[in-house]
Chain A
Amino acid sequence: MTALLEVRGVTKHFGGLLAVADVSFTLNEGEILGLIGPNGAGKTTLFNLVNGVYKSDTGTITFAGKDITGRSPDQVVHLGLARTHQIVRPLNNMSLLENVTVGACFGRDYQSIRPARVTALDVLKRVGLADRANSPASSLTLAGKKRLEVARALAAKPKLLLLDEVLAGLNPTEIALMISLVRSIRDSGVSVFMIEHVMQAIMNLSDRIVVLNLGRKIAEAPPAEVVKNSDVVEAYLGFPDIVDKLRGAQPQ
C-alpha cells in the first residue's frame, strides 16, 4: 500500500491552548481512515491543518508525494484534496447546480464552465439531488445540505476526501443513505478521511481509526482493536461499563 497522506509531528497552538500536539499518522491510498475523539479533542483542527485553513506551528504534511505544509486551501484542492464542513456552508443564494459547479470549476481539473456544469450534474445525480438542481441551496434540509457539501467536494475530483461529521444530525434513513454514498466514493477510487461521532457507522466504515484526545493521538488501529484499547475507552468515555456498549458496535 502506498501512502497518500503523511502527517508528521504536527502541532497547533491557539494562544495558550494546545489544540493539536505532535500528531503523526499515515493514510494509505484507497483506504477509509476514521478520526474519532471526544468533543474538543482537536479533530476539526487537525482537518483544518491538513487542508491548509490553519498553518501548523511545527511538523510536515505530505500529500501525494508533495509537501503541502503551509499551502492555502485553494492550492490544496488543486492537488486533489477536498473537504466538507462540519457546520454546513452552502452558497445560499446560488442553485445546487451552481454550488457544485464551483467545486468542479476550481477543483483538481480546473474545468471551464460548461464541462464543469456537466460534471456537477453527474455528481448531483450521484448524491441524489439532481431533481433539485435549480433550487437555491438555502431551500435544502440539513440532510440535503450535508449531501451538497459532499457533492461540491466530489466535483473537485479529489484523490482524498475529508468528511467532517457528515452523519451528524441525520435520521437513521439518511444515515444509511450517506453510509452507502461514502462506500461508493471509496469504491470509485477516492480515499476518505472522516471525522464521525456516530460510532456504529465509523466502526463499520473505517479500515483503520485514529483516536485523538486533548490534541494527542492515543491510538491508531483497525476498529476492532481500537474499541479494546483501554486508553481509548478511558479517554473517550470515562467510565468502564460503557465498554459493553461499544462492544455492541463492533463490526462482526
Chain B
Amino acid sequence: MILRRPLFWLILVLAALFVWLPLRSNNVALREDLILVAVAIILTSNLNLMIGYTGYVNFGHIVFYGLGGYVGVYLMTVRSWHLIPAALTSGVVVSLLALLFGLGILRLRGAYFALATIGVLVAVQAFVSNFESWGRSTGMYVSFESYAPLGGPKHALWTTYYLIIAIMALSLLLSLGIKLSKFGLGLFAIREDEDAAIVLGVNATVFKAIIYSVSAFLPAVAGSLMFFKNGMIDPSIAFEYMLSLEGIVMLMLGGQGTVAGAALGAGLYERLRSYLLTSPRLSEFHLVIAGALLLLVVRFAPGGVIGWLYRLLPRSHEVIE
C-alpha cells in the first residue's frame, strides 16, 4: 500500500512546505525561486520514468514541456479557455502525440533511441517555428483578459504557483506509485534486459509506449501553467535544448531510478544554477559546472546522492525509494 510508505507522506510534507513558506510572509521573491525548483522537480521526476525506470535516455524531454506550453497558451489566448481546462487539455494532447512518436521511435534501442529523441526535439521546434497559427518564430503573447477569470494578474500568479506545486506533488506520487506497481516491475525488467523481460511475458512495446506517453503528461501541464505565468511563449524558450540536458544532470546527481533522487537532484542543481546565474562572475559558467558535475557523478557516484546514501545507511532503503 502506497499509504504505508514514509515517502508518500514526505512528498505531501514537501508540497505543504512549498505552499506555506512563501505564503507565510507573502514573499514573492521566494515564491519565484521555489516555482523554478518545483518545475525542475516535475521535469526531472518524469524524465526519471524513462531513464531511471525503463533505461531509455530521452534527450528531448523538454519537448513535452514546450508543446504543452504552446497548446495551453493557444487555447487560453486564441480560444479564450480558462487556465485549468486549457492546461489539462494540453497534457492530454501532448500525451497522445507522445504515444504517436513513441510507437515510432521506441523500436530503436540504446544510442539510436537517444539520437531519435534529439530528432524529435529538433523537428518539433522547426515545425513550431514555421506554424502560422502559433505565431511562427515570434511566438504568442498571453492576452491580458486571460488573467481576468482568475481575479487579475496578481491573484493569477499565486493560483499558478499552487497549481505548479500540486503538479510537483503529483509527479512524485506518480513516480512512487509506478515504482510500487506491477507496471513498474515490468519497466524495471525492461531496463535490466529487454529481451529477457519479453521472454518473461512483459509486452515491452506497449509498456514503453505507455511510459513515454505518461512521462509527457505532467510536464506538458506544467508547461501550460508556466508559459501562462510568463505571459509569452516562443520556440527558443519553449524548446531550450540546455534544459533538456540539465534535466539529465539533475537526475544523475540525485540518483536515477529513485523517486527521492529525482527530487533531490533537481532541488540541489536548480539552487546551484540560480546562484551561479545571479553571481556576476560565474554567470557564464553554469553549463561548464553542469558538465563537470555530470562527469564526476557518472565516474565516482553512478547512483547519485541517493546511491551514496544507500551505501552509507543501508537501512535508508526502507524510507527513501
Which chain A residues have a beta carbon within 8 Å of chain B's beta carbons?
51, 53, 72-74, 77-78, 83, 85, 89-94, 98, 101-103, 105-107, 112-113, 116, 152, 156
User: Is B199 a contact partner of A83 (Cβ separation < 8 A)?
Assistant: yes
User: Is B201 a contact partner of A156 (Cβ separation < 8 A)?
Assistant: yes
Other 20 A-B pairs with CB < 8 A, given A74-B204, A92-B193, A107-B200: A73-B199, A74-B203, A77-B200, A85-B196, A85-B199, A89-B199, A90-B193, A91-B188, A93-B192, A98-B185, A98-B188, A102-B197, A102-B201, A106-B201, A107-B201, A112-B182, A113-B181, A113-B182, A113-B185, A156-B201
Q: Which 9 residue pairs of A and B lie closest in terms of their CB atoms, listed nearest first?
A: A106-B201, A91-B192, A77-B201, A89-B196, A113-B182, A102-B189, A73-B199, A74-B201, A74-B203
User: Is B199 a contact partner of A105 (Cβ separation < 8 A)?
Assistant: no
B32 at the interface (CB under 8 A from A): no
**Residue in B180, B185, B193 whose Cβ sees the most chain A Cβ within 10 Å:** B185
B78 at the interface (CB under 8 A from A): no
B235 at the interface (CB under 8 A from A): no
A-B contact count (CB 8 A): 71
Closest to A113 in B: B182
Mask for B99-133, Cβ within 8 A of A = 1, else 0?
Answer: 00000000000000000000000000000000000
Closest to A51 in B: B199
Closest to A100 in B: B200
User: Is A101 a contact partner of B185 (Cβ separation < 8 A)?
Assistant: yes
Question: Distance (Å) between the CB of A129 and the closest chain B CB?
Answer: 17
In the complex, chain A residues whose CB is within 8 Å of the CB of B182? 105, 112-113, 116
Closest to B1 in A: A114
Ordered by A's residue number, 19 sampled pairs between the chains whose C-beta atoms are within 8 Å are: A73-B201, A74-B199, A74-B201, A74-B203, A77-B200, A77-B201, A85-B196, A91-B192, A91-B193, A92-B193, A94-B189, A101-B185, A102-B200, A106-B186, A106-B200, A113-B185, A152-B200, A156-B200, A156-B201
Chain B: interface residue total (CB-CB under 8 A): 19
Mask for B167-193, Cβ within 8 A of A = 1, else 0?
Answer: 000000000000011100110110011
User: Is B192 a contact partner of A92 (Cβ separation < 8 A)?
Assistant: yes
User: Is A94 a contact partner of B188 (Cβ separation < 8 A)?
Assistant: yes
**Residue in A51, A112, A152 whose Cβ sees the most chain B Cβ within 10 Å:** A152
Q: List B residues 200-224 near A (Cβ within 8 Å).
A: 200-204
Question: Distance (Å) between the CB of B269 and the closest chain A CB?
Answer: 24
In the complex, chain B residues whose CB is within 8 Å of the CB of A152? 200
User: Is A91 a contact partner of B196 (Cβ separation < 8 A)?
Assistant: yes
- In the bound complex, CA of A91 to CA of B194 (Å): 9
Question: Distance (Å) between the CB of B225 and the closest chain A CB?
Answer: 34
Known: A113-B185, A116-B182. A106 touches B202 (CB 8 A): yes
- In the bound complex, CA of A90 to CA of B197 (Å): 10
In the complex, chain B residues whose CB is within 8 Å of the CB of A112? 182
In the complex, chain A residues whose CB is within 8 Å of the CB of B242? none
Known: A93-B192, A94-B189. A102 touches B202 (CB 8 A): yes
In the complex, chain A residues whose CB is within 8 Å of the CB of B196? 85, 89-91
- In the bound complex, CA of A106 to CA of B181 (Å): 13
User: Is A77 a contact partner of B193 (Cβ separation < 8 A)?
Assistant: no
- In the bound complex, CA of A139 to CA of B193 (Å): 16
User: Is B188 a contact partner of A74 (Cβ separation < 8 A)?
Assistant: no
- In the bound complex, CA of A152 to CA of B200 (Å): 8
User: Is A91 a contact partner of B199 (Cβ separation < 8 A)?
Assistant: no
Partner of B186, one of A53, A92, A93, A102: A102
In the complex, chain B residues whose CB is within 8 Å of the CB of A102? 185-186, 189, 197, 200-202
User: Is A105 a contact partner of B185 (Cβ separation < 8 A)?
Assistant: yes
In the complex, chain A residues whose CB is within 8 Å of the CB of B198? 72-74
Question: Distance (Å) between the CB of B252 and the closest chain A CB?
Answer: 16
- In the bound complex, CA of A106 to CA of B186 (Å): 8
Closest to B181 in A: A113
In the complex, chain B residues whose CB is within 8 Å of the CB of A90? 193, 196
**Residue in A53, A89, A102, A103 whose Cβ sees the most chain B Cβ within 10 Å:** A102
In the complex, chain A residues whose CB is within 8 Å of the CB of B192? 91-94
Question: Distance (Å) between the CB of B201 and the closest chain A CB?
Answer: 3
Closest to A48 in B: B199
In the complex, chain B residues whose CB is within 8 Å of the CB of A105? 182, 185-186, 201
Q: List B residues 21-80 near A (Cβ within 8 Å).
A: none
Closest to B188 in A: A94
- In the bound complex, CA of A228 to CA of B185 (Å): 49
Closest to B192 in A: A91
B284 at the interface (CB under 8 A from A): no
Closest to B182 in A: A113
**Residue in B182, B195, B204 whose Cβ sees the most chain A Cβ within 10 Å:** B182
- In the bound complex, CA of A83 to CA of B200 (Å): 8
